[in-house]
Structure 1
Amino acid sequence: MLISEPQLRLFTQNIFLAMGCSEVHASLAADVLLKSDLRGIDSHGVARLSGYIRLWEKQRINPTPNIRIIHETATTATIDGDAGLGLVIAPFAMQVAIDKAKVYGSGWVSVRNSNHFGIAGYHALMAVEQDMIGFAMTNASPLVAPTFSGERLLGTNPMCYAFPAGKYPPVIVDMATSAAANGKLEIAQRSGKQVPEGWIQDQQGNPTTDPHALKAGGALLPLGSDREHGSHKGFGLSATVDILSGVLSGAGFGPWVPPFVSFLESPVNPPGQGIGHFLGAMRVDGFRPADAFKSDMDIWIERFKSASTIDPNQKVIIPGEPELEAELDRMQNGIPLVDAVAKDLNELAVKMGLKPLTE
């Protein structure tokens, strides 16, 4: 079914208000989630709402956090999110990075004691709006096995790099460092579909296309799927995200990142606090005039768009292009929700004492 953006936004905002969030935080959290759904990243949008409610019920999410800087230099900072919504904490941290970059050329902020922060692209794009290059990454609960292992030690650990352009939309490289995001497994489960080979292994370490294998003790695979196809590179990228987001900030890291999904149990006395993020902003004019850079970015985009392709019906896709096309379409025609997600949201509304999304 299709739901209009304003209707879904109001519903989402009301859920956060019912959790006890302030109007400002509820509006911001809804904006982050809706940006995901609008851009076609359904795994990180309103489908996550029930997970936030579960964490809130377990007192893992603080709806009224005291988000504060606990360590700082001219160009860096560490922020404690007070167990608030990552959807609120990460934009706060990125704004700190942007403010530092305005004065000193770049700003780098690590975050601890946070929760799931939605799509990394939302936060990186905040920097692009200021003619800056944006960076955003986060660690996540351990669902991914390192190369050659059957043990879940890393999260899907997404990273995003966003670059401003001139007459074209920004180039946004936003990706999980696993073969697939966990949210895509959840979508497959709700849709009753199998997943592609190379996404997941079962408890014995064998390849499988069953999206339920993760709950049965299996693991997601790193980007590259196996050693012969470069999974050690995905492992390395994921490790980088985990170290910058978790070890550097004092957040949980590796197998000690607190779980988002209910079927994982929290370890006893884990090192670090909460989920960690790492965000950065660099002024383009710290390197060359911004207009000149953006003009060359336009040339870069045009050259890659005009590249010859093996299939004449297929063009090279610039990173961020499919998401922009989805956003333009969904703003006009509505946001599609699979029946299982719509049902889940309606049940959530009843639980929170709100009007159902659909009758």
Structure 2
Amino acid sequence: MELQRNHQTTYFVSLENAHKFVEGVLIGNKVCPEHAAIVARCLVQADARGVDTHGCNRVPSYMRRIRQGVLQPSPHIQVKAISPVVHQVDGKNGFGFVSATLAMDACIKSALDYGIGMASVKHSNHFGMSASFVMQANAAGMMSLVFTNSSPALPAWGAKDRLLGVSPIACGAPGGADGDFVLDMAPSIAARGKIYKALRREEKIPKDWALDAHGNPTDDPAAALEGVMLPMGGPKGSALAIMMDVFSGVLSGSAFAGEVTGPYDPSKASDVGHFLLAIKPDLFMSSKEFRARMDYLYQRVTSSSKMAGVDRVYFPGELEQIQAQLRKSTGIPWVQAEIDALNAEADLVDAPHLVIGV
């Protein structure tokens, strides 16, 4: 299936084929099958939800880091219990997807027994879409917080140098009949991955997203990547980025204060830190009552009087869930340059190519 858009043809690939493709490339690069399955699931889940900036297009940058020896394909990741409800995970410079999944597993198990579970992750890497781990907790009936830090892209408010990461804040709660609460947002006006996506597709970006190296607003994604992202809400976005560094970098013992290496930089290990928390929602009331209250909140939010020009009010995470349902049938949309870049990785390890069509 194909679609003409922005003077480029968009092709569609099924979720199942994308998952098989990613697993094949990962295993071809000496990633063990267990880790490959986790990474592929998270990447395809991001694409399915329309978060294309954190989906399968990340594969080439991850593989370059493996080939350069700065990302370990299959380390033995350690999960150490500090107390019955606190865990420390040493990612051993492996995939952040795997470290965060194991960390959330530990949080959930503690929360089942004690009502709450917390994990700090050190020596990790980029873990893609934060919502993956929120959804992991939701599926287990848990509320959650998921934090990470990242490479410098934002200035502290009032400064001009890149220091803070575009580090997402994510949280969630199991809902009722109308779906779960899933919040996953960057402290910048736009996620940096959207600029990389625009660069791949030779598209312009809005001028309020970033500044170029000279401090001027720009619609050129290449110039934006040489400059700085802009925090949302000015000092508020800057403060949220600092909070991510405190909980993810300072607390874990990983890199912080602008010292995290980005996923597109194959020069050295990233040393990313994460922080995850799971809470059993029936601590103060029954699970049935909690979900009923979540249903009521959903109805109150989505039935609010709409401002001019708005057709519908959505609950956090609802737009992505609608997109996920749509892409189950339509597949993931990619332009030819993106497909070529992905298939080039398959060629390097003699793995199967992506198959266009659903």
Normalised TM-score (structure 2): 0.93
For 1:318-333, what aligned pairs fall within 5 Å after superposition? 318-333=315-330
Show structure 2 runs of 5+ residues with no match.
Answer: 1-10
Amino acid at match of 1:286: L
Which residue of the partner structure matches residue 198 of structure 1? 208
- Verify: 1:183 aligned to 2:175, yes or no: no
Does residue 275 in structure 1 map to residue 272 in structure 2?
yes
Residue type at the aligned position of 1:6: E
Secondary structure at the residue paired with 1:256? coil
C-alpha distance in structure 2 between counterparts of 1:266 and 1:28, whole Å:
23
Distance in 1 (CA, whole Å) between partners of 2:155 and 2:302 is: 36
| Contact 1:342–1:358 (8 Å) recurs in 2 | no
1:260 aligns with 2:233: no
Residue 312 of structure 1: how far off its partner (Å): 6.0
SS at match of 2:242: helix
Partner of 1:228: none
Q: 1:357 to 1:34 in 2, by over 3 A?
A: same
Cα distance in structure 2, aligned partners of 1:183 and 1:277: 19
Deviation, 1:262, is: 2.8
| Deviation, structure 1 residue 261 | 1.6
> Which of 146, 160, 176 does residue 150 from structure 1 map onto?
160
In the alignment, is the contact (CA less than 8 A) between 1:259 and 1:266 conserved in 2?
A: no
SS in 2 for 1:213: helix
Higher strand share: 2
**Corresponding position of 1:220:** 229
1:83 and 2:93 are equivalent in the alignment: yes
CA distance in 1, matches of 2:339, 2:160: 34
Q: Matched residues in 2 for 1:164 and 1:356: separation?
A: 37
* C-alpha distance in 2 between matches for 1:56 and 1:25: 14
Contact kept, 8 Å, 2:24 with 2:352, in 1: the verdict is: no
Partner Cα distance (1:161, 1:313) in 2: 26
Letter in 1 for 2:238: F
Give 1:339 deviation, angstroms: 2.2
2:336 is matched by which residue type in structure 1? D
Describe the superposition over 1:255-277 as per-residue Cα deviations: whole angstroms up to 9, x where unpaired.
111221238x659xxxxx71111
Taking the aligned partners of 2:284 and 2:129, their CA distance within structure 1 comes to: 28
Does structure 1 residue 297 correspond to structure 2 residue 294?
yes
Equivalent of 2:16 in 1, 6, 10: 6
Specify whether residues 316 and 357 from structure 1 end up closer, same or farther in structure 2 by C-alpha distance, changes over 3 A only. Answer: same
Q: Which runs of 4+ in 1 moved over 4 A?
A: none
The letter of the residue matching 2:159 is S
User: Match for 2:99: what amino acid?
Assistant: I
Residues 23-75 of structure 1 deviation map (CA, whole Å, 9 limit, x = unaligned): 11111110011100000000000010001001101111111211113461222
1:16 paired with 2:26, answer yes
* Corresponding residue for residue 7 of structure 2: none
> Structure 1 residue aligned with 2:36, among 5, 26, 33?
26
Provide the identity percentage: 33
Partners of 1:198 and 1:127 in 2: CA distance: 34
Q: Distance in 1 between matches of 2:74 and 2:310?
A: 51
Cα distance, 1:200 vs. partner? 0.5
Q: Deviations over 1:188-232 (max 9, x none)?
A: 1122211112210111222222111134x30111122xxxxxx10
For residues 89-140 of structure 1, give each alpha carbon's deviation from its aligned partner in whole angstroms, at most 9, with x where no partner exists: 1100000111111111111111011111111111011111222101112111
Q: Classify the secondary structure of the residue corresponding to 2:273.
A: strand
- Determine which structure has greater relative contact order: mean sequence separation of CA pairs < 8 Å that are 6+ residues apart, divided by chain length: 2
Report how many residues are paired. Answer: 346
Which residue identity lines up with residue 257 of structure 2 in the other structure?
Answer: G
Distance 1:67 1:303, change over 3 A: same
Q: Is residue 241 from structure 1 mapped to residue 241 from structure 2 by the alignment?
A: no
1: CA distance, partners of 2:289 / 2:207: 44
CA distance in 1 between partners of 2:160 and 2:88 (Å): 33
d(CA) in 2 for partners of 1:312, 1:114: 43
Give the distance between the partners of 1:8 and 1:74, measured in 2 at CA: 39
Alignment of 1:125-140 (within 5 A): 125-140=135-150
Deviation per CA, 1:167-205, whole angstroms, max 9, x where unpaired?
Answer: 111011111112211110011112221111221011122
Letter paired with 2:232: L
Q: Are the equivalent residues in 2 in contact too, given 1:50–1:344 (CA < 8 A)?
A: yes
> Which deviates further from its counterpart, 23-32 or 141-150?
141-150
Partner secondary structure for residue 214 of structure 1: helix
Q: Identify the residue that residue 315 of structure 1 maps to in structure 2.
A: 312
